[in-house]
Amino acid sequence: MRDQLQPRLEQARAAEQDIAQAALAGATVQQLAERLDRLQTLKREAAQVQIDAARRIRAQLSAAQYAQLRQRAQATLAAAPAPAEYALLLPGHLPHLMPFVARLGASAEHQQSLARYADEQVRPALRPRLQQAQQLEQEIGRAVLDGRSAGELAPQLGRLAQLKREAAEIHLRCIAHVRQTLPPEQYARLVALATAKD
């Protein structure tokens, strides 16, 4: 499994970093469409490898052993990360810029414009998708533990991919809006703040 999974995960991580760099440099959603498609494919393939591995593990363990393993895995599902961690483009690769705007020292006009955009366009569209992705991914995880195959879960996996793609596009459009709103030197400082490693 590792020889099938690891290369896909590494390629996905590289694709995320590439998309993040391009987005922060000004690439549009349309310009990034093929790269987003590739990232989705890599993540879908990685999920299928993991689902197939879970089925093989289940087949090799006794019922009691699998029940114990399943119980531990379900405890992990219950301690789920924040909804942002269910995005196609993880915050570690493509940060959300809005939390850093206040620290930027932007003009009141720019701050109000960006806050209004976030409140009216971004948050109402992004949060529900990430929350749905979180819920769906947890449901898929439970279904895998119950023995369902990637083929049986294809509709849910497709819906999950759709939610994550929509959320990614909202995030990318937000970055583009921020870039268009702020003067170039402030945008550069904002990106530096948002991408600084603590």
What is the value of pTM for the model shown? 0.89
Q: How many domains does the chain have?
A: 1
Residue 198: pLDDT band with limits 50, 70, 90: low
Helix (H, G, I), strand (E, B) or coil at 97: coil
Summarised one tens digit per residue, pLDDT across range 143-181 is 999 999 999 999 999 999 999 999 999 999 999 999 999
- What letters, b where the CB count within 10 A reaches 16 and e where it falls short, cover 147-182? ebebeebeeebeebbebbbbbbbbbbbbbebbbebb
> Domain containing 113: what range?
2-195
User: Do residues 5 and 47 make contact, with C-beta atoms less than 8 angstroms apart?
Assistant: no
